[in-house]
A and B are shown apart, each in its own frame.
Chain A
Amino acid sequence: MAARHLIIGGGTAGMNAIRTIREEESEKSSITLVSAERPYSRMVLPYYLDRSIAESHVFTATARVLADWGVTAHLGKRVTALDTAANTCTLDDGTAIPYDDCLIATGSSAVRAPVPGADLPGVHSFWTLDEARGVIAQIQPGSHVVMVGAGFIAFTILNSILSLGAKLTIVEIAPRILPRMIDDTGAALVQTWLKDHGVTVRTGAKVARIEDAKGKKRLKFASGDLTCDVVIMATGIKTNLEWLKGSAVKVNQGIVVDDYLRSSVPNVYAGGDVAEGRDLISQKPAVHAIEPTAQEHGRVVGANMAGKNVRYRGSLIINIVEVCHLDVASFGAWDDAGAEAASGVKADRPAYRKLLWRGDRLTGAIILGRSGDIWTVNDVGMLKGLVQSGVSLGRWKEYLKKNPFDVKPAFIASKTTSTLLPETVLGRPSKAPGETPVAV
């Protein structure tokens, strides 16, 4: 009998796994997908929010495509329990689905700060398509939007809100913005940049309460209240793993996985936001909660489910966000206090860089530069390449310390290209997204 694969969660990791199974397998298997939502890409939601794309654009697979791929889909259903002894999962409608192996890829969801009034109507999260729809309906040109939280996700929708013609205020309890993406200097630069572009940022501001105020919302602080039309809470996320409680799958920060992305239960894989897999730089387990990690996890799991034995070397944290035409990106261990670091600012270009080393390998980098600035873009990728490949920089390290803006010669002369060229995630050239075989 053909193998029965179960995919729990039709987000990034799940869909990548399904596609890769179909790419890799030699004999057609049975694939079942259970997903609380239709498959779509969360990170595309900001472009739906600013209306530069239609809602239909966010979906990563239609029912038709799933059918073509021979996937049995239970959409809009949740898994409520996993019996790893019986190799069966149970859905919220009571359906039981047996499997030979399964992937847990249920992602994360937004959590709101425990503030009185955070659950009022008109206070939103922005994580799911439904939540995005809720926000879209609320923002008009001239609306005043208050974003609570100044983390990465808040920043991914910042441009969209502004481009809708809304006025934006960001409040953050911490003393600085973007705490998990860039260093203090970078954050300070972005904060001033925002101010210059008409965005009010209040750091170190703790929302005491949110209340209704004649069709508007009022945010109470220790001092200085804010009245606005829309509140978006971007105060953090948590993994969607409550339902796994009591199962044999070992969960730490996320589901603990080995280099083949297997959990403590060998026929149960985990990938994406819920997986605590190897970090490429630290080589330690970590939960990344970023798109590229979910993609790679999904693909590796898919290949392994299809009978390949793909060892995953670990994922690299990479992030980019555009703030009023300023690109802000970071790679790897940019916050490694034990690393050697060098930085530079070119105020007028405008640009900021910070490079971090362990030994003579670049292990982390932060780069800020004008969006579309051709030279920044080139360097952005090259810094990723240096961190990813871990090439020995030798004397280029000293050079880069003095000239953090002159990455190209260091990249090329360190022969980073030859190190990178043989690297693939699955041990073979990738196939184009449309190339996935419909039937094997």
Chain B
Amino acid sequence: MSVLRLHPQKCTGCLRCELACSYMQTGEFQPAKSVIRVSPFEGHTSYAPYTCTQCAEGWCMTACPVGAITINAVGAKDVLDDKCVGCKLCTIACPYGTMFYDPGTRKAFKCNLCGGAPACAEACPTAAITYEDVATADWLGDFAVERTARVLAEAR
């Protein structure tokens, strides 16, 4: 399956992906509802997008007491709104922190790869997010190690 491949070196922290995601998922511009999140690293010189890995276990999916999370046609774990009761178990089950909950709708929400045309990848001006048929991986780890060295040194 295709996954979101993240290229943190290219990310400028413009948050365009968040904006596009929220628009695609909700029809309004509200990055607070984006399921891709850009995090800062050292001294505001480094940013990287972060989203659901569509992990093999699917902790969110197996935790849901009512089977409200399924796997959609492009292989993404996807919340079925009419089944979700809003119990939040998935939000504490996902060990990556990429299950979200909307108090307005009382539903959980997550990245569903926009059904195969991810808005974030399309919106990113620097191609820091690409949609590719590769195995999912820890795209940010090495980058984060390098770009937090200073933060860690300062924290001492």
Contacts and interface: CB of A to CB of B under 8 A. Distances in A.
- Chains A and B touch each other in the complex, with CB atoms below 8 Å apart: yes
Interface stretch (A130-138, A226-234, A420-428): A420-428
Contacts of B87: 43-44, 46-47
A141 B141 CA distance: 52
B141 A413 contact: yes
Contact of A429 (B58, B70, B137, B138): B58
Interface string A274-303: 000000000000000001100110010000
A420 B96 contact: yes
A292 B85 CA distance: 16
A80 to B, nearest CB: 28
B151 A378 contact: no
A421 B136 contact: yes
Given A320-B88, A409-B144, A371 B66 contact: no
Given A52-B85, A291-B63, A372-B101, A408 B39 contact: yes
Contact of A371 (B83, B85, B99, B103): B103
Interface stretch (B49-57, B111-119, B124-132): B49-57
Nearest to A410: B148
B74 interface: no
Contact of B138 (A371, A382, A418): A418
A325 B98 contact: no
A433 B89 contact: no
Contacts of B141: 412-413, 415, 417-418
Contacts of A354: none
Between B41, B61, B89, the greatest number of chain A beta carbons within 10 A of the residue's beta carbon is seen for B89
A259 to B, nearest CB: 18
Given A57-B85, A398-B155, A430-B61, A388 B39 contact: no
B95 A384 contact: yes
Given A409-B148, A417-B140, A421-B138, A384 B89 contact: no
Given A412-B39, A418-B137, A319 B92 contact: yes
A106 B15 CA distance: 49
B93 interface: yes
Contact of A385 (B58, B97, B155): B97
B71 interface: yes
Contact of A384 (B92, B142, B155): B92
A411 B138 contact: no
Given A372-B102, A412-B50, A417-B140, A381 B89 contact: no
Contacts of A425: 57, 62
B3 to A, nearest CB: 11
A6 B140 CA distance: 46
Between A57, A331, A372, the greatest number of chain B beta carbons within 10 A of the residue's beta carbon is seen for A372
Given A47-B86, A320-B91, A385 B96 contact: yes
Between B48, B55, B63, the greatest number of chain A beta carbons within 10 A of the residue's beta carbon is seen for B55
A323 interface: no
Contacts of A403: 155
Contacts, number: 173
Given A320-B92, A381-B97, A423-B57, A299 B62 contact: yes
Given A377-B97, A380-B91, A409 B145 contact: no
A54 to B, nearest CB: 11
B57 A411 contact: no
A403 B140 CA distance: 21
A224 interface: no
Contacts of A395: 152, 155-156
Interface residues of B, number: 56
A291 B138 contact: no
A415 B57 contact: no
A41 B89 CA distance: 13
A237 B88 CA distance: 22
B97 A378 contact: yes
Contact of A60 (B41, B67, B155): B67
Contacts of A399: 151-152, 155
B62 A374 contact: no
Nearest to A426: B57
Contact of B103 (A57, A295, A325, A402): A325
B92 A381 contact: yes
B32 interface: yes
A411 B104 CA distance: 29
A321 B127 CA distance: 39
B65 A430 contact: no
Contacts of B64: 433
A384 B140 contact: no
Nearest to B146: A413
B97 A331 contact: no
Contact of B71 (A52, A60, A422, A432): A432
Those 4 A-B pairs whose CB atoms lie nearest each other, nearest first: A381-B97, A385-B95, A433-B67, A372-B103
8 contacts: A292-B93, A299-B62, A320-B89, A325-B103, A380-B97, A385-B95, A420-B95, A431-B71
Interface of A: 12, 41, 43-44, 46-47, 52-53, 57-58, 60, 291-292, 295-296, 299, 318-320, 322, 325, 327, 329, 331, 371-372, 374, 377-382, 384-385, 388-389, 395-396, 398-399, 402-403, 408-409, 411-413, 415-418, 420-425, 428-435
Given A413-B144, A415-B145, A429-B57, 11 more contacts: A52-B85, A60-B66, A319-B92, A377-B101, A378-B37, A385-B95, A395-B156, A417-B96, A422-B56, A425-B62, A430-B56
